[in-house]
Structure formats: C-alpha cells, structure tokens
Amino acid sequence: MGHSTIVFDAITFSYPALCSPVFDHLSATVPEGWTGVVGGNGTGKTTLLKLATGTLAVDSGHVMAPEHAVYCRQDTDRMPDDLEDMLVSGDKAAGRLVSELEIGYDWPYRWESLSHGERKRAQVGTALWKQPRLLAVDEPTNHLDARARGLLFNALKAFDGIGLLVSHDRELLDSLCDRCLFMDPPVVRMRPGSYSQGREQSELEEQSAEKERETSGRALKKLRQEAARRRDRASRAHARRSKRGVDAKDHDTKAKIDLCRVSGKDGADGRALKRLAGRIRQAHETHRNTRVVKRYDTGIWLPENRSKRDLLFHVPGGTMALSPDKGLSFPDLGMGPSGRVGVTGDNGTGKSSLIRYVLARTQLPEERVFFLPQETDPDQALRIVQKVRSLPEEELGRIMTLVRRLGSPPASLMDTRQPSPGELRKLAIAMGIVKHPHFIVMDEPTNHLDLPSVTCLEEALATCSCALLVVSHDHRFLERIAMTRWHLTPVEGEDGDVALGVSGFS
C-alpha cells in the first residue's frame, strides 16, 4: 500500500537502557517534499528517522509510511551494501548519480582509505539510486567541503518523494526544506517555511509564552495575597461570633452576637474566601499549563594554559604517503606554545592524515595534548561513557557542568548506554578541556554539534591561550579561531599528489 505522507499516530518509543521514553504519544504528519527535522542533541531526531523508515519499531501507536523507505546513516564507517551493485548496474540513474556526486568506480575496493566526505557522497548516491518513496538522511553535510556540499544539494534537490533531513547545516535546511519539524520534547511542532523562518517563529512563541507565564504568575500571587487577607478577616469574624469568654450576665454583647449570626454579616468574608479559592485554582491551572521551554545557560571556557616549551613540534619539509600512488608534500612545519593553525582543503586531500602525522611528532607529554578525532566508532563511544561513569565525583561534576553549558542535560546523557553522536562529541570535548591541555588538535570539531554548541565552542577556542591545530570545512569558524592557514591542494599535472601551502586567514 502506498502512502503520500508519513503519519506518526500517538507513538511511544523507549530504548531498553533508558529510564524515560524518547517519545510519549507523539503525533505528527509529514507530507511530500523535504522536511527538516531540527532540535538539540539528544532530542530524538535520529530515532524519529529510524522509526519512519522501519529501522526501529514503536512500542505503541502507529507509523504509516511508504514501504519503500531508505535510511541514510549519520556515520560512514560501513560501506553501503548496494554500492558495488550501483556501480556495475550500467543503468542511466546510476551513471547520472556517479557523475553528479563524482563517485569513483574503485571506491568499493579502497573504502578504508576514502575520506569521510567521499564516503558520504557514496552513501547518499547509493540511497538515491534505490529510488525510495521515503528517504531519511541524517547529517549529510558532515565532513563535506563546499564543493561537495553543492554536489550533494543538487542531488537531494532532484528527489521527488518524501524527504526527512536531519542537519545542523542552516544553509542546507533553508535551501532544501519546505517545512521543519522542531523537536523539543515533550513538544514536537511542524512549522512551514525554511528553518530560519521557523526558528524566528519559535523564538516569538517562546517570548510570548514567557510573558504569559509572568502575567499569570503575578495574577496568581495577587489572588493568594488576597486570600490570605480574607482568611485573616474571616478568622477575626469567627472570633466575634463566638460567645466564649463573654460574661454570662452580659446580655447586650450576647444579643449583638446573635444578631450577627442571624444576619450573616460577619460570614461574608468566609463565603468570599470560598469563591476566591475557585479563582485561585483556575489561575494556578492557567499558570501551570503555560509551557516555557527550559534553556540552559551556555558558554564554556578554557583554563589559562600555555606550554613553557618554545616549540611544540617541528616537522622538516618533505613528503608523506597518503596511499601507494599518492603523496602529500609540505614545507618545514612548526608551532610555538600559542600557535593557532586552521587546516583546509577538499575532501580526500589528506587533512586527517596530516594532523595525525604531526601528532606523532609532538614533543609534549600525552596528558597535555587533547585530540578530538573526526568520528568515534561505537566501541570507542562505549569506552568513553564507561570511563566517565567511573570518574571520581568531583571530576565527573566538572565534566557534566561543561556538557550542560554546551546545551545537553547531564542527567539524560548519563541515563543512556549509547549517547547520540552530538552528545558524545560534547562529552569528548568536556573530557579534553578538564585535562588543561597545552595543545588542542581537532578534526572537524563542529560535526554533529547543534548550532548553539558550535557558537560556544567557537567562542571558547577564540579566547583560549593554548596552541590550536584544527581541521574544518567551516571557513567562518576557522577565521574566528586561527591565525595561520595550512591549505592542501592537488598538484596540477600530478595524478593524485597534494601540496601544502602556508598563509594567513583573510
């Protein structure tokens, strides 16, 4: 049976290792065209894509979606099962995708040597070749240089089915999506238009909700104060109606009390108090139901740490092998205790290989170097989580404070056996910072991070005192944090060889 929409009907889903459900009676409808799925790290974006494509099954409720669905994973460790079939198929669709995404026919035989960006192009190309009615793509622009991002955008733009896109790439969301599903559990809300338009509307709604809650809070406080005054007056009225303590022969006083009891004059405050109680209950319900999104104070810091060494590393000029038939030539490379280098270049030019080559020649103690790799495999992720959980309470507290200030609730992070890639990224950054490093080396550090976290990291690195060596395709990010640029470019006339040039950032 075909479907032209995805319908999530009161779905509930939990991972076995979690104490609370990821989704609890969530309902939403997704039409044809591209829909962005946006939200902070750990809000269930990837889980929603897997439920939509049948990769995961709901605990309760129903998902109605096209049967022919493909989920394009966030990681690129595994080669797509159908990559070889696509390359040898000889059909027009395969030829067009191979050409548009510049996929190499030898890639299946050297998958391990491909850059993550090349793997991502192969992954997306294979998914499109299957011609699904529902395509769910998870963070497709991670690892991609500007040129490859353009190739990917054109390929995704041509897809005419139901598209779900998880991305922290604002430009891609704005250019590709007709609507965005904003995820902020327990609330999920579809907003028409681009991500930027939806974000603006979301901020206006949050501001309105905050004002409404403040107003209802003041009204509730005023009613409670009035109730306290009425209770005091009713208590005094009750005392006046009592004959206790009145002299048995004081007939005038007794007569006045009897008159008050008959007329009910002194009971008016008591009756008014009962009416006021109803208004207080109503005001309390209004205040309680006015939902204001809880936002964590964000912003991290790096402690003042600078090595006393004059030189952190020195690599004499030469050539390093990238593959049996491909080399990277470079001039003399060195860095002092406050050096700040950004590494740029197209996918496949050897940026990750270069920084690992440099790391192996660094003259600092291991504990003074913080290296953030481009990706973390599942086994490494599990070891990181287990290590954090075994830390002394004081050190664990420092790490969790940094995670919170990167925008993720520490409790939910510690509640799961396998954090999302974005949460794991934040955890790794926090663990590196508490080491008080003298040298920070990062390979595509903004991959998987939500947008507020990227800003936090950028600001922290821009003001830190230690040395930096950072690979990134985000040119604006590098301009903020680096002073020197190592740019890798293919050598003209040489088949596959690459050269490193040194310059400043403009």
pLDDT digit string (tens) for 462-505?
888 999 999 998 888 899 999 999 999 999 876 779 999 999 87
With cut-offs at 50, 70 and 90, classify the pLDDT of residue 293: low
The predicted model gives 161-170 an average pLDDT of 92
pLDDT of residue 348: 85
User: Is 73 or 505 the better-scoring residue by pLDDT?
Assistant: 73
Q: What's the rounded Cα separation, in Å, for the pair 386 and 396?
A: 12
**Among 11-15, 207-211, 414-418, the least confident range:** 414-418
Sheet of 179-184: strand order equals 69-72, 134-138, 162-166, 33-38, 179-184, 187-192
pLDDT of residue 177: 95
The predicted model gives 324-334 an average pLDDT of 92
CA 30 to chain centre: 21
The predicted model gives 383-394 an average pLDDT of 86
**Among 49-63, 163-177, 210-224, 279-293, the least confident range:** 279-293
Beta bridge pairs of residue 62: 9
**Among 150-154, 202-206, 378-382, 431-435, the least confident range:** 202-206
Torsions phi, psi for 369 (to 5 deg): -120, 130
With cut-offs at 50, 70 and 90, classify the pLDDT of residue 128: very high
pLDDT of residue 21: 86
- Helices and strands, counts by H and E, the chain: 16, 19
The predicted model gives 66-86 an average pLDDT of 93
Q: What's the rounded Cα separation, in Å, for the pair 127 and 137?
A: 9
pLDDT at residue 267 greater than cutoff 70: no
Q: What's the rounded Cα separation, in Å, for the pair 178 and 169?
A: 15
Highest mean pLDDT among 246-255, 302-311, 441-450: 441-450
pLDDT of residue 231: 74
Place of tokens 């690129």: 76
Model's pTM, two decimal places?
A: 0.71
Q: Tens digit of pLDDT for each residue in 398-452?
A: 888 888 888 777 776 666 667 788 888 989 999 999 889 999 999 999 988 887 7
Burial class (CB in 10 A: 0-12, 13-18, 19+), 350: buried
DSSP class of residue 38 equals: E
With cut-offs at 50, 70 and 90, classify the pLDDT of residue 298: low
Highest mean pLDDT among 22-31, 36-45, 269-278: 22-31
Cβ atoms of 391 and 403 within 8 Å: the answer is: no
Highest mean pLDDT among 125-134, 165-174, 237-246, 444-453: 125-134
pLDDT at residue 26 greater than cutoff 60: yes
pLDDT of residue 1: 45
With cut-offs at 50, 70 and 90, classify the pLDDT of residue 132: very high
Give how far Cα 149 sits from Cα of 101, 175, 347, Å. Answer: 10, 12, 11
pLDDT of residue 294: 56
pLDDT of residue 220: 78
pLDDT of residue 10: 95
Nearest Cα neighbor of 403 from 428, 385, 430, 383 is 430
Q: How much is the mean pLDDT over the chain?
A: 86
**Among 152-156, 217-221, 247-251, 338-342, the least confident range:** 247-251
pLDDT at residue 239 greater than cutoff 60: no
3-class state of residue 218 by DSSP:
helix
Percent of the chain with pLDDT over 90: 48
pLDDT at residue 268 greater than cutoff 70: no
Highest mean pLDDT among 41-45, 292-296, 373-377, 482-486: 482-486
* Cβ-count burial 422-455 (b if 16+ within 10 Å, e if not): bbbbbbbbbbbbbeebbbbbbbbbbbbbbbbbbb
Cβ atoms of 380 and 122 within 8 Å: the answer is: no
Torsions phi, psi for 449 (to 5 deg): -80, 145
pLDDT of residue 302: 72
pLDDT at residue 74 greater than cutoff 50: yes
Largest CA distance in the chain: 123
The predicted model gives 310-322 an average pLDDT of 94
Return the sign of the alpha-carbon dihedral for residues 227, 232, 235, 240.
Answer: negative
With cut-offs at 50, 70 and 90, classify the pLDDT of residue 91: very high
